[in-house]
Structure 1
């Protein structure tokens, strides 16, 4: 069986270096331990020998019986992390759909997150229909109106969104690309506002994975009418956004039409009031990363110019430091051949208004 090492929660308090243990008896403190335990399970699973996507080369030590045998009677975050690691190692494909259903019906967030991401990672780039259905069932925006009101936790929605990116990685799938672009720019609706930033970031990363490196290739010709670069630029630079992502297939069009026909007071967010302009604090991180992955290693000067840092103090002050960092990283992965491991290249990334005073002395 897989033995997950105990996570040490003991620290030392200077200057006497007295050992202090974290008391997990309080429910508030105990929740802080959930995701560390999840990642402890991931680390345990990554110690296993990786499998192969081909059945004949699959490791014989990790079988369906072994995975089911290691499932605890009470769901635990460690086992959820173990499921994610098994997916990353290509072992999770041995599970039957009945096993997956039993896991999902537990209603345990770490287990659901680990399974969704694990299955998507194990089937990455294949656009597998059964895994796609499983992920879509955890994204209310992809469900018709009678089912869109299902209670799906924010963590499960975010994991499913990231799983879409893994499952359709590099496929330039029109339907998913259009949907993900719309989710990046979607305004807050209803009262589901928890972890909104994480959801939007996952949508941006997923869009970048689906269209990975397709920005300058003929594979993206079917996406040209979506105006992905222009809309992503507006998502992180600011502006008004009234245009929808476009006409989706019948799977989504029916759901959206039913939502439009609903009363406005039923879909209007009662907690967040947004104006006419895009809330870049929410949309910018995902949009920047999506644009960088879309033009990955294409050396596109036009795409890199969209990510150029502002050249005035006033405009530079309007961009958060973390978003400036993301812009530099995204420009780097686009202009891949221009990167050099030198101080001169690093200094060249700074705007002139900063570089001149900083390096003139």
Structure 2
């Protein structure tokens, strides 16, 4: 299984939704980084379940234990080992689907691939696995912050309700002031009402998380197959429930002519910049120093609190009943996951960039 991500700044995650614990091994984190454990805890709190009425009510504190790679508050350059105990498993909630395949889950594909599956919450295919990514991403974010790079994601759409204000006109940090993580208070209230009404209907709804990366140096990205946007796309599409990724002008760009879409280069006080940023901060697969921005589409959560038709392992028609504790909309808790995966990509490419020029080796 593909449980590792990255090349120089590399992570390997392990654990299942209803196992004893989740965990991650981080290889390649430079030595001497002052780690703020409280900031790691804050990132875990942003992702954890049970944080509001519009998220799953599973109660996990998601406290981490660092086993290695850190001494006297600094990274040592050796592998960082982290475990996150599972404290609130209710495996009995899943006994009714022990031999049944839930619609739009990985139950059938895992069973066909491996001949066995952990039906307790989806096992390894559960979105709970992303807790390990957020822990690793929190360290990557601190590494990037030491180089002046910031990453901020936010909810920009729920169902057909979209944030209409450009991100440049918003205080993105206000996203943390409401439970849906939308930086515009008025839109946030509408989104919360929509999600809550869907929850009361015993259904689910999808949405979009947007992300902005600022102060990226020029030159991150590798030709030809390891372009920066390609790796960001891979990172985002590896997240549970993600169905789409676009950066820069994305699909809207097809409506424009080249004369409108081209980002004109100018020299401002000795620094080359672009007048517009339809490229989303990436040209030729390499960062150009402008804001990198992208959107990630999440489907409606597959588990709904309604009966659905399906089949079992014997191929017989069955009814699958919705039980357990699940998010009516995943995007509020997906915000820190998107940030974490973006941070892992940027940290890896920042280290890789040091191998491009002879004088930097």
How does the TM-score come out when normalised to structure 2? 0.22
The structure with more radius of gyration: 1
Would you tell me which structure has more helix in proportion to its own residues? Answer: 1
How does the TM-score come out when normalised to structure 1? 0.22
Q: Which has the higher contact order (CA 8 A, sep 6+)?
A: 2
